[in-house]
Structure 1
Amino acid sequence: MKKSATRRSVLKKLGIGTAGSVMLSTAAHGIPSSNDIEPILRIAHLTDMHLQPGEVSEAGVRKCLDQILRDEKPIDFFINGGDLIMDALREDEATTEAQWAVWRAIKKDYPQLKFYHCLGNHDVWGKTPVQEPYPGKAWALREHGLDRPYYSFSEKGWHFIVLDSTQQKPDGTWYTAKLDLAQRNWLEQTLQDIPSEEPILIVSHIPILGATPFLDGDNAESGDWVVPGAWMHIDAKSLINLFYKHKNIKSCISGHIHLVESLKYHDIMYHCSGAVCGNWWKDEPYELTDRGYAIMELFANGEHNYIYVNF
């Protein structure tokens, strides 16, 4: 995501960054589960990789995957939380293709890894034919083998709903965080169709609800808190009211902010999983947050553990 002049300057300076040292640390969040109960699923949430040509970001993502495979217990599948590539919106076809090619090279070398993908704002290509069914998003959908940018699936008794956070503003400019009408109608129907005893985890690129969007940048410089609609879902209150009707929704996970948090509201845990790229692959942390990934353990009773791991 790009959210201020500071962030834009960070992106411009990315080419001179160097890979940082590897450091492992953990912090537990979420709903602690009994130690004598084994999880039925263990997933890795990797968000905001921001891949581009050059050895820094590619080596960093490979280092991240290698650490997970070496140090973590076996992972059932990975969730890509969006912003997989550096930025497609303002780039031409050749530059965008070069970014996606980095991901293809990584994916080829890790064929054993199962990924589910969520689209981020930087995955959207700006120079797109208007006749595409999902303008700007069709390229990313092809890369991920998806028919549309929102979908759901079940794994071992848990149901997962992947949402598309980024939409054009009413004036046609890019972008605000919300669900479009068709997606909202689909979500309501999907939630109705899921058995009430089946726990649900919701994935979005942009946080549906969080505290970190308030603290990322000078959002109080006017004397009031001002959080842009691109930093947290502008339809959060409506979604929260919808979620309240479905007690089997246990957690919502996101990225986008490059910061880590776990917030509980109406018995739902909202986790923001930092960024694999950290401070856009610069050595120093972003707002005191190092690059990393999240590990989630999901239990049959609907509980979960959440751990953010630096690398």
Structure 2
Amino acid sequence: MGTVGAGMLPISCAVPNAKDETKRKPVLRFAHVTDMHIEPGIGAEEGVKKCIDYILEKEKSIDFFVNGGDLIMDALDKTEAETEAQWAVWRKIRATYPDLKFYHCIGNHDVWGKTPHEEKYPGKAWVLKEHGMDSPYYTFESHGWQFIVLDSTQPKDDGTWYTANLDSKQRAWLEQTLKDIPSEKPVMIISHIPILGATPFLDGDNAKTGNWVVPGAWMHTDAKSLVNLFYNHKNVKVCISGHIHLVETLVYHDVHYHCSGAVCGNWWNDEPYELTNKGYALFELFEDGTHTFKYVEYDV
């Protein structure tokens, strides 16, 4: 069996009695596989298959997979041919597992930086086509839970790429979507970049100036506004993300913010990244709006 990574223990959230936990059955279970960073020639295809095979063999039945973004290594500054080579590896992987259900979240490295500017979602048309998505943000329902998938990455005001927040159109959509969801229905928010977290502070030497300086590309710059929005919708229970390649759980105003480590670990190098090894997260969701979370190192 896999080990729980980065010092983490399986987290059982808002369960009133530990004895009752063994009697409860989740309404759904899914694997959060984020930051695969696929490209040819570095062992990524074999590594991703190893991760998926491990999940299928070692875990109980999985209802679906959530791809948390940065599925390919990088398309921001790549040619069309270089970007195509990366996506071709992913297509081979998907062809190996045609029956698996994936829900996709777009990461910053999935965006093709040389895309024509007249597109509806600049840089994102290619990744949307690969995943069969009409929009980079959307919502879906499963087993009594509502899931909201956000698009974290936006161009900066000066036209360079990228910063983490919601554009005005997406923010208005999110507000209306939360209003439309019945108040008794639990909600999970999925984003590539953490909305709120501690790991962005610890990814690198961010206090070298004597002050904490967290780049706007590492955590949502509209975090406070989103926290206030979630505070007014008590059925928002969980927010999950990737991007940082580190593992954490933070609880703020009764919302659990989980950041999962990366399937690629330290970008397919053998050494862990900031003490965190290659892995995936497993979530179990319950009818009463509670959940469990664990991070599993598959490459052991």
SS of the aligned residue for 1:94 comes to helix
SS of the aligned residue for 1:281 comes to coil
Number of the residue aligned with 1:81 = 68
Number of the residue aligned with 2:27 = 40
Letter in 1 for 2:74: D
Number of the residue aligned with 2:10 = 28
Q: Is the 8 A contact 1:30 1:269 kept in 2?
A: no
Number of the residue aligned with 1:159 = 146
Letter in 2 for 1:79: V
Q: Tell me the CA shift for residue 196 of structure 1.
A: 0.5
Number of the residue aligned with 1:198 = 185
Q: Deviations over 1:138-192 (max 9, x none)?
A: 0000000001100000001000000000001111111100000000000000000
| Percent identity for Structure 1 against Structure 2 | 69
Q: Distance in 2 between matches of 1:32 and 1:71?
A: 26
Q: Tell me the CA shift for residue 29 of structure 1.
A: 2.2
1:234 aligns with 2:227: no
Number of the residue aligned with 1:57 = 44
Paired residues, number:
289
Q: Tell me the CA shift for residue 32 of structure 1.
A: 5.9
Q: Is the 8 A contact 1:214 1:226 kept in 2?
A: yes
Equivalent residues in 2 for 1:160-175, closer than 5 Å? 160-175=147-162
Q: Distance in 2 between matches of 1:32 and 1:133?
A: 41
Number of the residue aligned with 2:134 = 147
Letter in 1 for 2:131: H
Aligned match for 1:259, one of 239, 246, 250: 246
Q: Tell me the CA shift for residue 54 of structure 1.
A: 1.9
1:137 aligns with 2:124: yes
Q: Deviations over 1:200-221 (max 9, x none)?
A: 0000000000000000001000
Q: Structure 1 segments of 4 or more deviating over 6 A?
A: none
Number of the residue aligned with 2:171 = 184
Number of the residue aligned with 1:214 = 201
SS of the aligned residue for 1:95 comes to helix
Number of the residue aligned with 1:278 = 265
Letter in 1 for 2:40: P
Number of the residue aligned with 1:307 = 294
SS of the aligned residue for 1:190 comes to helix
Letter in 2 for 1:24: G
Q: Is the 8 A contact 1:42 1:295 kept in 2?
A: yes
Q: Distance in 1 between matches of 2:170 and 2:184?
A: 24
Letter in 1 for 2:174: L
Q: Distance in 1 between matches of 2:294 and 2:246?
A: 14
What is the TM-score of this pair, normalised by structure 2? 0.95
Number of the residue aligned with 1:117 = 104
Number of the residue aligned with 2:18 = none
Q: Distance in 2 between matches of 1:216 and 1:226?
A: 11
Q: Distance in 2 between matches of 1:126 and 1:225?
A: 30
Q: Deviations over 1:32-66 (max 9, x none)?
A: 64221100000100000000012511100000000
Number of the residue aligned with 1:10 = none
